[in-house]
A and B are shown apart, each in its own frame.
Chain A
Amino acid sequence: MAAGCGGDQSTLNPQSRQSGDIATLWWWMLVAACIVFGGSLGLILLGWVRRRQGGLPVLGQNEAVSQRLVVLFGILIPIVVLVAVFIVGNFALMPVTKAPAEGSTRMTIEVTGRQWFWDVRYPGARAVTANEIHIPVKTRVNVVARTADVIHSFWVPRLNRKIDMIPGRTNRVLLYADKVGVYRGQCAEFCGAQHAHMAMKVFADPPERFRAWLRDMAAPRRTPTTASQRLGERVFLNEACAHCHTIRGTPADGTVGPDLTHLASRTSLAANTIPNRRGYLGGWILDPQHVKPGNRMPAIDLKGPEFQAVLDYLQSLR
């Protein structure tokens, strides 16, 4: 994974115009802030240097002059600075980062926050996945942000600002990536016990790779091909798993947990908490509360061949 300067969730390592403009605004505001702070510190130091002499240098002890200085530093200069920040920050930048109107982009993705994962749907393509969002590079994507339970906030800092997911409301945010790559995002509004482990990845793919991926995601699950995989599917459907998870193409249609139809195509598990490898997957199934205490998944008591069969099955869901 591309971990550029300052890690892979840094607002200072933007990969889109939106995040880039916000970062530029930050650097300019930092410069202005340093000047104001430096000036104030300089005045205080002047007070320290002249601690034995009253009055101002040159101007002396003059109340009217002192009052005018307060008006200058406390009213006039702040007004200039504030108006500048206000105009640049709000009038110049808001059109860049504002929510795209419905139907204003060629592509729309519906992301629903849940305790504690992201449900991702591609309307029109019937593709469903979780926690790993693929988008075509250099394409404006309208993310429709909703929640199924408490308030969450959708945030991929290197691509754009965040947007809260609020019950009963539909919010939107633009996703756009300049370059092919993987961009980490994370829930930014406190949402309960496992708020810390509600991360996601956005994959900006070349258009043809994206289209192939979307076709794969829209399809039902791959039919099991080995005896072990078939056993695994039966166990999955008979155990608690199917109550909470959906695997399209099977009777499993639970909605408490993420859609697992193409689980094996994802790089991570438990909302980007652990890698999607056989050992981690097994550990997660047997004791999910160890990995992510308080999450909604109960431990599944599977043993020997049945456990291996479920792992074989889940790993076949590409």
Chain B
Amino acid sequence: MTTIPTTVTGHARVERLERIWKERPGLVGWLTTTDHKRIGILFLFTSLVFFLAGGVEALLIRTQLAAPNQRVLDPETYNQIFTMHGVTMIFFFVIPISIGAFGNYLLPLMIGARDLAFPRLNMLSFWLFLGSGVFVYVGLFIGQGPSAGWFDYVPLANKTYSPNHGIDFYAYGLMFNAMSSTATAINLIVTTFKLRAPGMSLNRMPLFCYAFLAVSFALVFALPTLTASLIFLELDRQLGFHFYDVAQGGSALLWQHLFWLFGHPEVYIIILPAFGIATTIIPTFVRRRMVAYPLVALAELLVAFIGFGVWAHHMFATGLSTSTAIYFAAASMVVVIPSAIQIFAWIVTMVTGTPEFKTPLLFIVGFILFFIIGGLTGIMFAAIPFDQQLTDTYFVVAHFHFIIFGAAVFPILGGLFFWFPKLTGRMYHEPTGKVSFWMTFWGTALTFFPMHILGLLGMPRRDYTYPDGMGWGAINLSETIGAFILAAGLLLIVGNLLVSYFRGPLAGHDPWGAPTLEWAVPSPPPNFNFAVIPAVSSPYPMWDPEDRETDVAKLNRGELVLEQGHETPASTVQDGVFDEVLEMPSESWWPLVIGLALTATFTMLLLSHWVTAGVFAGAGALAVMAWHSTEPQES
């Protein structure tokens, strides 16, 4: 593509960068790495393992419900399984794979940075995620999984009605997990604001980055509410406080308000990365820039913002006052508009471009269709009497699975295909990819669409079984069949990518002719990402060939190569003007040490060994000090 050849001195600079950014080999390298790409891969594989666990739980649920009055699972086990299904898919799959894998791996590459702003904090995020996931699953495997649903309403979650440790595993596990997500979110915000390649002012930032910026802000503001509500819950459970205890002046509805004040922004946290992935894949395969870039960027931010004002629409059946209910219904309708802007920006971009329907774009088309269905049923729920009739039935289950599975996960699947060549350097098998799309598409439709009908026919959700003669049996059976088709489609994706990893043809640095900067570097990218910090003059830098030639010239001149140390440039927040050169920290054992200390702390809290918990927390705090003492000083 470039016409200017790299000179000998240019090559020497690249070799020097390779030496400087080299990490320790083997297992030690993986345990101590600060490379956002390796950490992203750790997040990817770990969250996919949790996806498998959540998927098995889903199939168990569907097997139990395939026919009336079945006893595949006893009620307590079923309740633990459906609780863990929700907890796993939200906290241990969608969020970590979105921000931990996609955000982590791609965001620095898209903005022309060499790493995230806080590489060791990034590694700590991973250990906290892994620790919290294992922590929660220990509960399930010793038969004390949480069984009060992912929404965990009190008083059912109180000590009186849930006496074993299940709820404690849930509460401590999610506090623990929130630390991971918060750290990643802060890291992504600072990285997006400060580490963009000089020249990438905010109005030249790819839409993907806007989506992840919005998600990160939403996480930072939503998670504290969850953490607070969980701390109150544990104080009630362990020390006899009365936050949620009505008999002692507490409030059962307080939990619902706090939980949904987190829980509804959470829905947008889940969906926004999907928006980001869609706005990256569509221009690539449609061969044109997104229509209405400023409107879409604004819409991505607005979704996250307005999402904080709609939480009580989860509570229309609790007997809210009419005026309160009306406000939340109205706010819920307002949030439709930024979503609609994005949907039609994608569609109009496709109509006015020349779309090539390869597997990633097919998944995005599936996503758009499912998102429209889920969005339309969402609007229906803003009609309060309709909500009060259909909430807590399978109609809601249909609605949010179209959003969370159809709309949030389909772009993740499309993204796996899309960035597979970048991660591995090899191409996946296109025809098999298309087959797997159609299997997951129809599997999803067959699993979740009939749930609308089931809800209208009056089947409540969260029931471990249902009686004969209600007209629900055949619909449930078709959903179960759909779930297994879907599972087969997902396995085919895994098989395709696995075989392609070993046998796929070499991809080269940019097999798609994609617009963003991750395609400027070799596949897989070197440790330092960019041999020279790239020049940027639009949100589609790879479609500006003269900038890429400038890069080669700069490498030859040694401008913005920064081969004197472990360095990346910082730029100003708004205009992206070069600010200073940052010395990046090296690999470290301390994140792992802190991760282990916090795992021990939460385990001791669970067992009510308060002093021991304090000791481990103290050890973690000491490790934080040590972490900074070994920070490399000015070179």
* A30-67 to B contact mask, C-beta < 8 Å, 1/0: 00010011001101101110111111100001010011
Choose, from A162-170, A213-221, A278-286, the stretch at the interface.
A162-170
Report whether A73 and B344 are in contact in the complex, using a CB–CB cutoff of 8 Å. Answer: yes
Tell me whether B456 is interfacial, beta carbon within 8 Å: yes
* A267-289 to B contact mask, C-beta < 8 Å, 1/0: 00000000000000000000000
- Residues of the B chain whose Cβ atoms lie less than 8 Å from the Cβ of A82: 333, 336-337, 379, 382
Closest Cβ–Cβ distance, residue B5 to chain A (whole Å) = 34
Tell me whether B391 is interfacial, beta carbon within 8 Å: yes
Tell me whether B617 is interfacial, beta carbon within 8 Å: no
**Alpha-carbon separation in the docked complex, A285 to B395 (Å):** 37
**Alpha-carbon separation in the docked complex, A85 to B161 (Å):** 40
**Alpha-carbon separation in the docked complex, A97 to B386 (Å):** 10
Tell me whether A25 is interfacial, beta carbon within 8 Å: yes
Closest Cβ–Cβ distance, residue A116 to chain B (whole Å) = 10
Report whether A29 and B380 are in contact in the complex, using a CB–CB cutoff of 8 Å. Answer: yes
* B458-470 to A contact mask, C-beta < 8 Å, 1/0: 1111111111011
- Residues of the B chain whose Cβ atoms lie less than 8 Å from the Cβ of A98: 322
**Alpha-carbon separation in the docked complex, A169 to B365 (Å):** 46
**Alpha-carbon separation in the docked complex, A33 to B318 (Å):** 27
Choose, from B190-198, B232-240, B345-353, B601-609, the stretch at the interface.
B345-353
Choose, from B74-82, B203-211, B584-592, the stretch at the interface.
B74-82
Choose, from A7-15, A103-111, A131-139, A233-241, the stretch at the interface.
A7-15
Q: Number of contact residues on B: which range applies?
A: 35 or more
- Residues of the B chain whose Cβ atoms lie less than 8 Å from the Cβ of A51: 354-357
Tell me whether A21 is interfacial, beta carbon within 8 Å: yes
**Alpha-carbon separation in the docked complex, A17 to B13 (Å):** 79
- Residues of the B chain whose Cβ atoms lie less than 8 Å from the Cβ of A153: 317, 392
Report whether A46 and B385 are in contact in the complex, using a CB–CB cutoff of 8 Å. Answer: no
Choose, from A121-129, A182-190, A257-265, A298-306, the stretch at the interface.
A182-190
**Alpha-carbon separation in the docked complex, A115 to B160 (Å):** 13
Residue of A nearest to B71 (CB): A293
Closest Cβ–Cβ distance, residue B324 to chain A (whole Å) = 12
Choose, from B222-230, B366-374, B408-416, the stretch at the interface.
B366-374
Report whether B462 and A11 are in contact in the complex, using a CB–CB cutoff of 8 Å. Answer: no
One of B343, B380, B458 near A186 (C-beta < 8 A): B458
Report whether A25 and B156 are in contact in the complex, using a CB–CB cutoff of 8 Å. Answer: no
Given A47-B355, A48-B355, A166-B318; A7-B472 close (CB under 8 Å): yes
- Residues of the A chain whose Cβ atoms lie less than 8 Å from the Cβ of B342: 74
Q: Name the interface residues of A180-207: CB closer than 8 Å to any CB of B.
A: 184, 186-196, 199
Report whether B340 and A96 are in contact in the complex, using a CB–CB cutoff of 8 Å. Answer: no
Tell me whether B398 is interfacial, beta carbon within 8 Å: no
- Residues of the B chain whose Cβ atoms lie less than 8 Å from the Cβ of A164: 317-319
Q: Name the interface residues of B303-357: CB closer than 8 Å to any CB of A.
A: 317-319, 322, 325-326, 329-330, 333, 336-337, 340-345, 347-357
* B274-303 to A contact mask, C-beta < 8 Å, 1/0: 000000000000011001100100000000
One of B318, B368, B384, B460 near A94 (C-beta < 8 A): B384
**Alpha-carbon separation in the docked complex, A98 to B376 (Å):** 24
**Alpha-carbon separation in the docked complex, A12 to B144 (Å):** 40
One of A53, A155, A168, A191 near B354 (C-beta < 8 A): A53
Closest Cβ–Cβ distance, residue B150 to chain A (whole Å) = 10
One of B352, B365, B385, B472 near A56 (C-beta < 8 A): B352
One of A36, A43, A55, A163 near B376 (C-beta < 8 A): A36
Report whether B471 and A26 are in contact in the complex, using a CB–CB cutoff of 8 Å. Answer: no
A-B contact count (CB 8 A): 263
Closest Cβ–Cβ distance, residue A132 to chain B (whole Å) = 16
Tell me whether B6 is interfacial, beta carbon within 8 Å: no
One of A71, A168, A172 near B251 (C-beta < 8 A): A168
- Residues of the A chain whose Cβ atoms lie less than 8 Å from the Cβ of B459: 9
Given A70-B344, A75-B341, A150-B161; A6-B457 close (CB under 8 Å): yes
- Residues of the B chain whose Cβ atoms lie less than 8 Å from the Cβ of A193: 75-76, 79, 147
Residue of B nearest to A96 (CB): B385
- Residues of the B chain whose Cβ atoms lie less than 8 Å from the Cβ of A48: 355, 357
One of A40, A187, A188, A191 near B372 (C-beta < 8 A): A40
Tell me whether A177 is interfacial, beta carbon within 8 Å: no
Tell me whether A88 is interfacial, beta carbon within 8 Å: yes
Having A10-B471, A69-B344, A150-B155, one finds 9 other A-B pairs with CB under 8 Å, namely: A7-B472, A44-B369, A66-B291, A151-B252, A153-B317, A153-B392, A162-B392, A188-B392, A196-B464
A residues near B (Cβ < 8 Å) are 3, 6-12, 19, 21-22, 25-26, 29, 33, 36-37, 40-41, 43-44, 46-48, 50-56, 61, 63, 66-67, 69-71, 73-75, 78-79, 81-82, 85-86, 88-90, 93-94, 96-99, 115, 149-151, 153, 155, 157, 161-164, 166-169, 171-172, 184, 186-196, 199, 293-294
Sampled A-B contacts (10; CB under 8 Å)? A7-B458, A7-B470, A11-B390, A25-B386, A46-B351, A70-B295, A70-B345, A82-B379, A193-B76, A195-B460
